Amino acid sequence: MPNGRSATCRGAFVNIAHLLPAGAVFPLRKHNGRYEWVLRLARQQVADGHTVTIYAGEGSSDDSPIIWRSIEKLSDKLATNNALIQQALREKSHDVFHSHFDFLHYRHGDLTDAPIIVTQHWFPTESFAREVVNNHTHNVVAVPVTQLMKRTNHELGIPSANVIYHGIDLSLFRPGNDASTTNQRLLFVGRIHPGKGVDRAIQYAIKAGIGLDIVGKVNETEQEYWQGLQSAIDGQAIRYLGPKSQSEVAVMCQQAKALIFPNRHEEAFGQVIVEAQACGAPVIASATGATSELIRDGETGFLCKTDDDFVRSIAQLDHIDRYACRLHARKFDFQAMTNAYNALYLNAIKSIDSVLAQ
């Protein structure tokens, strides 16, 4: 192999390197969905018999057999991330790299002949596409997490593999002991941000005459927006419960009448939509982005285009079969997702060209 890369896979077992920014230090001090997802994937891959290294922030560690690599911080964040990814890509023992950066793998991909798989944690943009065009990197392939994202990749000229939907832990996100009982309240889970539409959720709950529980973090940059909502949050009909752990969110989804997801912007995926359905909760969401790929309109929830659509959908929630929601969510199983990535790695190692085939 060029550059002395060892691509001698032990049967179906490979040497995988996950690439994360130097700012990702494990154990994490605060919630970060992308970093938590990577750690869970790496742990599952180790359990499946692969050798897994994570390049991340200095001092990172874990109680699993994952190998951790990092560098000392340099003058600024970009310089540190450049040095970290360069160090990783020069390492010849890895069969495949799995990047979770936004674009640095395109700038430095020619440091290795190994395939670089990129999970698209963000929606592709024209600036992202320019990185692809300007760097002519032959061994980097993006993995879209929805069909909408794959179509956008094609329009922007971004080479991509087939869609691999994000997976969820179906042992955690599952029905409660009494799947037929709910608290008759809506649930909003997400960052407190105008794009997430928590103000809309409040408006629709009040119009429909139903309670609403709000779960999520308020960042400093959103304090003005948050303060503007305070008059409606009375602690009874409309309650703010703060940020919660995944296990706590799972219990809340089990108990909720429905999850409401009135986002204004296109989401890269919208994982909480799937998590809620796995617990049996229907989802009422904006008909934007890839929500139609995650919700069966009229069967596991409702896709809404107008304010009136949301209010009408709340009134129709009793027509949704919570078992149908759970059944639909099974297609987003985390182990199935892991298997799909492992198959992609093997295919990429054998022939990068086959990965890029449309």
Residue 356, pLDDT > 80, answer: no
**Pair 30, 12: CB distance under 8 Å:** no
SS3 119: strand
189 shares a domain with 98: no
Query: Could you report the per-residue pLDDT of 153-167, keeping only the tens digit for each?
Result: 999 999 999 999 999
347 shares a domain with 282: no
Q: Is residue 6 part of a domain?
A: yes
pLDDT of residue 309: 99
pLDDT of residue 5: 46
Among the listed residues 127, 126, 97, 119, the one whose alpha carbon sits nearest the alpha carbon of residue 109: 97
148 shares a domain with 82: yes
Over range 15-25, report the average pLDDT.
Answer: 97
**Pair 55, 88: CB distance under 8 Å:** yes
Query: Could you report the per-residue pLDDT of 244-260, keeping only the tens digit for each?
Result: 999 999 999 999 999 99
Q: Is residue 173 part of a domain?
A: no
206 shares a domain with 140: no
100 shares a domain with 216: no
pLDDT of residue 136: 80
Query: What percent of the chain is modeled with pLDDT above 70?
Result: 94
**Confidence class for position 15, pLDDT limits 50, 70, 90:** very high
Q: Is residue 266 part of a domain?
A: yes
Q: Is residue 172 part of a domain?
A: no
Q: In the chain, how many domains are there?
A: 2
Q: Is residue 259 part of a domain?
A: yes
Query: Could you report the per-residue pLDDT of 110-151, keeping only the tens digit for each?
Result: 999 999 999 999 999 999 899 998 988 889 999 999 999 999
157 shares a domain with 9: yes
338 shares a domain with 300: no
Q: Is residue 156 part of a domain?
A: yes
Over range 324-347, report the average pLDDT.
Answer: 97
Residue 296, pLDDT > 70, answer: yes
Q: Is residue 30 part of a domain?
A: yes
CATH code, domain carrying 342 = 3.40.50.2000
Domain that holds residue 267: 185-331
Residue 332, pLDDT > 80, answer: yes
Q: What is the pTM of this model?
A: 0.90
223 shares a domain with 210: yes
Over range 18-44, report the average pLDDT.
Answer: 94
pLDDT of residue 180: 58
Query: What percent of the chain is modeled with pLDDT above 90?
Result: 85
Q: Is residue 179 part of a domain?
A: no
220 shares a domain with 100: no
193 shares a domain with 115: no
Residue 10, pLDDT > 60, answer: no
23-38 burial, b at 16+ Cβ within 10 Å, e below that, comes to ebbbeeeeeeeebebb
Query: Could you report the per-residue pLDDT of 174-214, keeping only the tens digit for each?
Result: 998 775 567 999 999 999 999 999 999 999 999 999 999 99
DSSP state of 167: P
198 shares a domain with 104: no
230 shares a domain with 319: yes
pLDDT of residue 354: 55
**Pair 98, 341: CB distance under 8 Å:** yes
Over range 92-104, report the average pLDDT.
Answer: 96
Q: How far is CA 240 from CA 95, 191, 211, 235, 295, in A?
A: 47, 12, 11, 7, 26
Instruction: Round the average pLDDT of the chain to a whole number and report it.
Output: 93
